[in-house]
Structure 1
């Protein structure tokens, strides 16, 4: 795939809306970027869809639009013309479209503004969204390490959830069952220590996909040590060391997660 107007639009969308993934994509070869930018732009569009309206029904309709687009891609028929959907159709096969459909379905909880009452339910949501996205990216880049990809994606989604928890609170959603700093610290510590599925060494394709979660370790450590920053919205503001970590991982020197 050449970088046409659609791919350039996807890259610009990711640069503005998801700077961490943009930096990760820019650290891989151009051919890999042409795979990653449509996936990351899709993720931005879908994650925003439930929040652009206060009406749950309209939010559901926006999510259904993306499910229908993925169904068109997966069925191999005519695909609607759209600056994200069109390049996405060049990246996904039927299985990839099915995985991302699960990610969109999980976001119906956002459309209905559901509070988090159980950590296991939150983990299932994060596994479907973050885990599903990273596995789709890894597959599209040539990896067959599903368990590792999903585990790495879950780890990144957990970190992002902690980073966004205060914003969710401001939007009227309860991001954790218990909102006291001590309780959040316990969750963050468990997430920090959970490396299930990450024992297998990553392939080159897998490593490129996992660059998307380059901040996860640092964010999880910080949240466990200073959980009040989660509530204050000041988590992850020191980024120099994580950026060095990204550079090392892109060079194949650092740990992949």
Structure 2
């Protein structure tokens, strides 16, 4: 039930966010690793079983964890207990955590999102919600929410676009009717521009929470340019972008 256990989970299951946390100051890692481990556990819950009912039960278990943590009844689990501490110590908004979990119900089933608005809401509740939670854990004021969520949405769109081939290989329909990957990339870049326009509202101390978006812009631009190659940055470009954002704090 230690931070080390959460770090190990993230290292094995979410290497991009692990690298982002390791590029952040040591003193904030205890806030970020439990949150990213929680997100990983929730994100993979629909994929570890072929039985929808079991997947629903796994997600409900995490919704119960969040609610019990909010009431002070922590659970003895390697991720649930540190998450409880975050909720208690930093006042993480329980409703944002709950929406993040509930949104993952879409991953259980094979139906596409109802429309573009449905996908937008999914990205807002998952990726944008996660980035706002990370920012809150580092002390972000309420006034920073719009900028952080816009950046989180753009990041979620980029990662979703990168996952499209894998989702299709699993028999899912990631793109709703009437929305192309090109259009989603354009919307992501628009949200990125909105985030940058409001960047002054985000304190510098919160910048490590936004390191998870270090690949956002180039992935979106790759998707906008089209082509059949998987969305991916070269190892050199990955290291360069992460280090640049870590050292400058600019996103």
TM-score in terms of structure 2 length: 0.91
Residue 172 of structure 1, CA deviation = 1.0
The answer (yes or no) to whether the contact 1:151–1:197 under 8 Å persists in 2 is yes
**In the alignment, what sits opposite 1:163?**
162
98 and 177 in structure 1: CA distance in 2 versus 1, 3 angstrom threshold: closer
In structure 2, do the counterparts of structure 1 residues 193 and 228 end up closer, same or farther at CA, with 3 Å as the change threshold? farther
User: Hey, what's the Cα distance between the residues in 2 that align with 1:156 and 1:206?
Assistant: 16
RMSD: 1.8
> What residue number does 1:173 align with?
172
In 1, Cα distance between the equivalents of 2:227 and 2:159? Answer: 14
Query: Aligned match of 1:116 in 113, 117, 129?
Result: 113
- Spell out, residue by residue over 1:193-233, the C-alpha distance to the aligned partner (whole angstroms, 9 max, x if none): 3322431223123211110111111100111112433xxxx
What does 1:206-245 align with in structure 2 at a 5 Å threshold?
A: 206-229=206-229, 234-245=230-241
Deviation of 1:148 after TM superposition, in Å, equals 1.2
What secondary structure, in the 3-state scheme, does the structure 2 residue paired with 1:236 have?
coil
Q: Report what 1:196 is aligned to.
A: 194
Q: Aligned runs of 1:15-94 on 2, under 5 Å?
A: 15-76=11-72, 78-93=73-88
* 1:178–1:184 CA contact under 8 A, matched in 2: no
C-alpha distance in 2 between matches for 1:176 and 1:79: 38
The separation in 1 between residues aligned to 2:186 and 2:212, in whole angstroms, is: 21
* TM value normalised by structure 1: 0.89
**Which residue number corresponds to residue 145 of structure 2?**
146
Runs of at least 5 residues in structure 2 that lack an aligned partner in the other structure:
none
Q: Counterparts of 1:215 and 1:197 in 2: how far apart (Å)?
A: 15
* Off by >6 Å, runs of 4+ in structure 1: none
| Structure 1 position 104 matched with structure 2 position 101 | yes
1:149-178 superposed Cα distances (whole Å, 9 cap, x missing partner) = 111111111011011111111111101135
Aligned partners of 2:219 and 2:233 also within 8 Å: no
Q: Equivalents in 1 of 2:197, 2:26: separation in Å?
A: 29
Deviation at 1:240, TM superposition (A): 1.9
Shift of 1:81: 0.3
**Between Structure 1 and Structure 2, how many residues are aligned?**
244
Post-superposition offset of 1:110: 1.2
